[in-house]
Chain A
Amino acid sequence: MQQLRLTRTRRAALIGLAGVLAVSLTACAESKRDEAGGGGTGGTMVFGDTGNPKMFDPVFNDDGETFRITRQMLDTLIQNKQGTAELEPSLATKWESSNDGKTWTFTLKQGVKFSDGTEFNADAVCFNFNRWYNMKGAAAQSQMIYYGDVFEGFAKNEGDAGGDPVFKSCEAKDPATAVVNLNKAKGAFPAAFTLPSFAMQSPTALKQYDADKVTQSGDSFAYSDYAYKHVTGTGPFKFDNWDQGKGEITLVRNDSSTEPAKLDKLIFKVIPDENARKQALKAGDIQGYDFPAPSDYGLLRNEGEQVLIRPSFNVLYLGINQSGNPKLKDVRVRQALAYGINREQFVKSKLAEGSEVATEFVPKAISGYTDDVTKYPYDPAKAKQLLAEAGASNLTLKFYYPTEVTRPYMPNPADTFTSISEDLKNIGITIQPVAEPWNGGYKDDVQKFGKQDLHLLGWTGDYNDAGNFVGTFFGREKKEFGFNNPELFNALAAADGSPAGDAHAKAYQGVNKQIMDYLPAIPIAYPTPAIVVGPKIKGVVASPLTDERFNNVTIG
């Protein structure tokens, strides 16, 4: 009996083993899936995205995950030249502003149609501008983050929308000329016309699917069908399908576009976990993904993948809250902090290749950047001396840093904190570390309550304007920095209101110098995020603004 039992057990084990082997052999036989297509025009590219898009009407969105997709379907009047933050024509072949910066005239490309057959012309441009300006409902307006920021107000302000609107009117002078009139000059223009939120959409489709209908459902919002299924633009791809269960968004070539894509199909697959994205690329399930971990660059390259480094368009800074410790009001103390941090070493040892030490709060690619600012090279002796002069040799500072987060400007906050706090300890400062989850109170404590003395934060630019960086940080009194410097606030307001062009750049260069003398915080680094694509993918150009457009992508 026992003999029989053993035999049975063995048989079961053998069958199990055979099963496992069968599964693995069959799987091995199905070798790594070929990167679909087969070379040249056509084929499908699957791209691994970091998160779920909310929906696709870009005016109600402000997140990179959504914009990555809408950028392939919708064109803006002006766009960024691939690989740079420079402006180039898109739906507008030419644009010019009046001397006072209050009138913008766009000469439009001819023969362009939206993918539903609607003609793109000046009427369509004005329809879009008027749509944004006249948007009704608190739910709708509270979701129009970029419109609210750039245009400052609506025809009727509701919800969190307030202030005097920058937009005044839009005239279609002739089918090829649209004139946008503003109530005041705004430094954000013309660069802000490149924002994905301000992409041109088909008036026919917007009306047909009731795109402006944003309703509140309990403590959340619901959008119309347009935003989920019918977004209609002039871009190289058009919407095909969104499979929520699989987390896949499928776009197909828009043959009615003046420059249709080379791929037949472009699929975005949402894979939030970075390691899972890497595995999916290795297995050939996807042909590219966003934000590989800097520590994986070498590994990925060894495996033949292309790691494309994005030129930096962000800044990591060490925030200083002057209303925290009174000693921080003394500029010598702030200078001491700057001299005391070995930023070269930090950038070299902790950040991805291509990253640089930040000398001011705008990256080099931004108009308004200047090399002519006061610099603070690593000099611990000078730092100690400055602290002594300020009577702050025994300084104790509460240093806040976030956890449970990686940002393009801060791939590893804990590492960054350790590196900087060690440097500060070396110059005699006592650090009290405070770690908090990013979505669990960090931003509240730092920006709303100003509980910190020092903190880590950064910013990724939205468009090529220095005001988008320094204006956001230091344009007014804020709990985050705890200072009141009317001179600086006025200089920033004046720079923002200066007409576009050289004068605008000069104004910001002056402000940047002023900021680096006053030193309200310490710019640490211009980190460089990356995008990775498989060996057979051609035509992806890494963009500082994560504005990679896949219209020229070919496979093989």
Chain B
Amino acid sequence: MLRFLVRRVLQAIPTLLILSILVFAWLRSLPGGPAAALLGDKATPEKIASLNHVLGLDQPIILQYFKFLGRAVTGDFGNSLVSAQPVMGEIGTFLPATIELGLSAMIIAIVVGVPFGYLAARYRGGVPDNIIIVLTLVGVAVPVFFLGYTMQDLLAAPLGLPSQGRQAAGIDATSITNFAILDGIMTGEWDAVWDAIKHLILPAFALATIPLAVITRITRASVLDVFNEDFLRTANSKGLTQSVIRRRHVLRNALLPVVTTIGLQTGALLGGAVLTERVFNFRGLGFLLAEGIERRDYPRLQALLLFGALVYVLVNMLVDISYGIIDPRVRVR
């Protein structure tokens, strides 16, 4: 296992290096640029040129890249042009919100998606199956921002749920880890915990729709595959109870593709989080990224995109490891 891990970590380095080149080149190929965005309405071509000079953005791109790389390997990604704060510090401040939101969305997607998928497979062709298929299609097809706005407009006020933000303004909550719920639990500030949960409900459901639909469909397909396997017939003929068959044989075998999907969807959540966090003003990494793109905040975008890539690599590693746990055959290989 250790060798496997070391190999995966070493594989990640060139991946990240290539990505850093792509990200760097992409950002610099965008029209506009940070100086124009920074200077806003009052920007004149002369001011933009001068600021580009001060920022070193008029130097050859190769030189700019190596300077960036030199600083990046020491963990210095510079300061955000929007907030004037070190971008690594910003990631530390805003990451907990995204984890809180992503985790909640993923829990909703798994807790609802796996049983629904199973249910659909179990009643294949029946009413529950048809309803679930239609719902999952809608779930995948509706854009997150549309769903978010609709939820804000139709659900927030009637349900008394906050439509934006992570905590009510001015709430006197102690911040230790930046995880609002965890901090509230640690300090016993139950009002703050409840407030944070209320703020999570709408964005988490909005963000959960796509992974929920995907997980439901994959579970359904995977369970149907297993239903057709010979070993189920064997299990049945051995006289095992249905619950043992479901747990040991159907679910265990059906879960492998589901876990892969969950892994991939966790990575994809970062993309969905950009829109969800923006719509709900939920200040996480997605929010930072959206603001960074609007303002052409190179230092922030470079750090965030590479951080996102790192998360993808790590999630994929975790998926590989979990394969081994679920299916011993993978471990042997």
Interface, chain A (partner B; CB < 8 A): 1, 9, 12, 23-24, 27-33, 36, 44, 46, 51-52, 54-55, 62-63, 138-139, 142, 145, 149, 159-160, 216-223, 227-228, 243-248, 250, 265, 267, 269-273, 275-277, 279-280, 282-283, 285-286, 404, 407, 436-437, 439-444, 447-448, 459-460, 462, 479
User: Are A220 and B50 in contact, with the CB atoms below 8 A?
Assistant: no
Measured between C-beta atoms, what is the minimum distance from B158 to chain A in Å?
Answer: 8
Residues in chain A near residue B79, CB distance under 8 A: 217-218, 220-222
User: Are A44 and B298 in contact, with the CB atoms below 8 A?
Assistant: no
Residues in chain B near residue A30, CB distance under 8 A: 160
**Residue B67 lies at the interface, judged by CB distance under 8 Å to chain A:** yes
Knowing A269-B165, A273-B278, the reply to whether A244 touches B85 (Cβ < 8 A) is yes
Residues in chain A near residue B169, CB distance under 8 A: 46, 246, 248, 267, 269, 285-286
User: Are A439 and B170 in contact, with the CB atoms below 8 A?
Assistant: no
User: Are A245 and B178 in contact, with the CB atoms below 8 A?
Assistant: yes
Measured between C-beta atoms, what is the minimum distance from A449 to chain B in Å?
Answer: 9
Interface residues of B in 33-85 (CB under 8 A from A): 33-34, 36-37, 39-51, 53-57, 64, 67-68, 71, 76-85
What is the CA–CA distance of A55 and B298 in the complex, to the nearest angstrom?
A: 18
- Pick from B224-232, B258-266, B289-297, B316-324 the stretch touching chain A: B289-297
What is the CA–CA distance of A27 and B40 in the complex, to the nearest angstrom?
A: 41
Knowing A220-B81, A279-B156, A459-B41, the reply to whether A142 touches B51 (Cβ < 8 A) is yes
Residues in chain A near residue B44, CB distance under 8 A: 447
User: Are A55 and B84 in contact, with the CB atoms below 8 A?
Assistant: yes
Knowing A46-B170, A142-B50, A219-B78, the reply to whether A23 touches B201 (Cβ < 8 A) is yes
Residues in chain B near residue A227, CB distance under 8 A: 84
Measured between C-beta atoms, what is the minimum distance from B201 to chain A in Å?
Answer: 7
User: Are A440 and B32 in contact, with the CB atoms below 8 A?
Assistant: yes
User: Are B54 and A279 in contact, with the CB atoms below 8 A?
Assistant: no
Interface residues of B in 288-329 (CB under 8 A from A): 291, 294-296, 298-299
Q: List 15 contacting pairs A-B, 8 Å CB cutoff, sorted by A.
A: A12-B115, A27-B198, A28-B159, A31-B160, A33-B168, A160-B47, A216-B55, A218-B67, A243-B175, A244-B85, A248-B169, A272-B281, A273-B164, A276-B164, A462-B42
Q: Beyond the given A227-B84, A267-B169, A271-B165, please list 18 additional residue pairs across the A-B interface where CB-CB is below 8 A.
A: A1-B242, A12-B115, A23-B159, A24-B158, A27-B160, A52-B291, A54-B83, A142-B51, A218-B77, A218-B299, A221-B79, A244-B83, A272-B291, A277-B164, A285-B168, A437-B31, A444-B48, A448-B48
Residues in chain A near residue B90, CB distance under 8 A: 244
Who on chain A is nearest to B111 by CB?
Answer: A16
User: Are A62 and B40 in contact, with the CB atoms below 8 A?
Assistant: yes
- Give the residue of A27, A219, A285, A441 whose beta carbon is less than 8 angstroms from that of B57: A219
Measured between C-beta atoms, what is the minimum distance from A120 to chain B in Å?
Answer: 28
Measured between C-beta atoms, what is the minimum distance from B235 to chain A in Å?
Answer: 15
What is the CA–CA distance of A280 and B156 in the complex, to the nearest angstrom?
A: 10
Interface residues of B in 80-114 (CB under 8 A from A): 80-86, 90, 93-94, 96-97
Knowing A24-B160, A160-B51, A439-B37, the reply to whether A218 touches B291 (Cβ < 8 A) is no
User: Are A219 and B294 in contact, with the CB atoms below 8 A?
Assistant: no
Interface, chain B (partner A; CB < 8 A): 30-34, 36-37, 39-51, 53-57, 64, 67-68, 71, 76-86, 90, 93-94, 96-97, 115, 119, 149, 152-153, 156-170, 175, 178, 198, 201, 242, 278-281, 283, 291, 294-296, 298-299
Knowing A160-B51, A444-B31, the reply to whether A275 touches B149 (Cβ < 8 A) is yes
Residues in chain B near residue A32, CB distance under 8 A: 160
User: Are A138 and B54 in contact, with the CB atoms below 8 A?
Assistant: yes
What is the CA–CA distance of A62 and B84 in the complex, to the nearest angstrom?
A: 14
User: Are A219 and B115 in contact, with the CB atoms below 8 A?
Assistant: no
Residues in chain A near residue B67, CB distance under 8 A: 218
Residues in chain A near residue B50, CB distance under 8 A: 142, 159-160
User: Are B41 and A407 in contact, with the CB atoms below 8 A?
Assistant: yes
- Give the residue of B54, B83, B157 whose beta carbon is less than 8 angstroms from that of A160: B54
Residues in chain B near residue A23, CB distance under 8 A: 159, 201
Measured between C-beta atoms, what is the minimum distance from B217 to chain A in Å?
Answer: 19
What is the CA–CA distance of A270 and B290 in the complex, to the nearest angstrom?
A: 14
Residues in chain B near residue A276, CB distance under 8 A: 152, 163-164, 279-281
Knowing A36-B170, A219-B64, A280-B165, the reply to whether A439 touches B152 (Cβ < 8 A) is no
User: Are A139 and B78 in contact, with the CB atoms below 8 A?
Assistant: no
Measured between C-beta atoms, what is the minimum distance from A408 to chain B in Å?
Answer: 9
User: Are B36 and A444 in contact, with the CB atoms below 8 A?
Assistant: yes
What is the CA–CA distance of A417 and B168 in the complex, to the nearest angstrom?
A: 40
Who on chain A is nearest to B171 by CB?
Answer: A246
What is the CA–CA distance of A228 and B165 in the complex, to the nearest angstrom?
A: 22
Who on chain B is nearest to A462 by CB?
Answer: B42
Residues in chain B near residue A247, CB distance under 8 A: 165, 281, 283
- Give the residue of B49, B153, B160 whose beta carbon is less than 8 angstroms from that of A28: B160
- Give the residue of B42, B163, B280 whose beta carbon is less than 8 angstroms from that of A145: B42
Residues in chain A near residue B165, CB distance under 8 A: 246-247, 269, 271, 280, 285
What is the CA–CA distance of A156 and B217 in the complex, to the nearest angstrom?
A: 67
- Give the residue of B30, B56, B84, B163 whose beta carbon is less than 8 angstroms from that of A223: B84
Who on chain A is nearest to B168 by CB?
Answer: A285
User: Are A280 and B163 in contact, with the CB atoms below 8 A?
Assistant: yes
Most B Cβ at <10 Å: residue of A139, A218, A247: A218
User: Are B76 and A218 in contact, with the CB atoms below 8 A?
Assistant: yes
What is the CA–CA distance of A433 and B37 in the complex, to the nearest angstrom?
A: 24
- Give the residue of B30, B40, B71, B78 whose beta carbon is less than 8 angstroms from that of A440: B30
Residues in chain A near residue B283, CB distance under 8 A: 245-247
Residues in chain A near residue B71, CB distance under 8 A: 218
Who on chain B is nearest to A162 by CB?
Answer: B50
Residues in chain B near residue A223, CB distance under 8 A: 84
Residues in chain A near residue B299, CB distance under 8 A: 218-220
Residues in chain B near residue A404, CB distance under 8 A: 294
User: Are B119 and A160 in contact, with the CB atoms below 8 A?
Assistant: no
User: Are A142 and B54 in contact, with the CB atoms below 8 A?
Assistant: yes
Most B Cβ at <10 Å: residue of A248, A285, A441: A285
Residues in chain B near residue A29, CB distance under 8 A: 160
Residues in chain A near residue B57, CB distance under 8 A: 219
What is the CA–CA distance of A246 and B165 in the complex, to the nearest angstrom?
A: 7
Residues in chain A near residue B82, CB distance under 8 A: 52, 54
Measured between C-beta atoms, what is the minimum distance from B305 to chain A in Å?
Answer: 15
What is the CA–CA distance of A248 and B164 in the complex, to the nearest angstrom?
A: 13
What is the CA–CA distance of A217 and B153 in the complex, to the nearest angstrom?
A: 43
User: Are B170 and A221 in contact, with the CB atoms below 8 A?
Assistant: no
- Give the residue of B84, B153, B163 whose beta carbon is less than 8 angstroms from that of A221: B84
Residues in chain B near residue A31, CB distance under 8 A: 160
Knowing A220-B55, A280-B163, A441-B32, the reply to whether A265 touches B170 (Cβ < 8 A) is yes
User: Are B39 and A62 in contact, with the CB atoms below 8 A?
Assistant: yes
Measured between C-beta atoms, what is the minimum distance from B292 to chain A in Å?
Answer: 11
User: Are B31 and A440 in contact, with the CB atoms below 8 A?
Assistant: yes
User: Are B78 and A52 in contact, with the CB atoms below 8 A?
Assistant: no
Who on chain B is nearest to A223 by CB?
Answer: B84
Measured between C-beta atoms, what is the minimum distance from B229 to chain A in Å?
Answer: 20
Knowing A52-B82, A285-B165, the reply to whether A9 touches B119 (Cβ < 8 A) is yes
Measured between C-beta atoms, what is the minimum distance from A126 to chain B in Å?
Answer: 27
Residues in chain B near residue A279, CB distance under 8 A: 152-153, 156, 163-164
Residues in chain A near residue B149, CB distance under 8 A: 275
- Give the residue of B153, B164, B298 whose beta carbon is less than 8 angstroms from that of A219: B298
Q: Which 3 A-B pairs have the closest CB atoms?
A: A160-B50, A441-B31, A27-B160
Who on chain A is nearest to B93 by CB?
Answer: A245
User: Are B31 and A159 in contact, with the CB atoms below 8 A?
Assistant: no
User: Are B41 and A460 in contact, with the CB atoms below 8 A?
Assistant: yes
Knowing A62-B42, A276-B279, A447-B44, the reply to whether A439 touches B294 (Cβ < 8 A) is yes
Residues in chain B near residue A439, CB distance under 8 A: 32, 36-37, 294-296
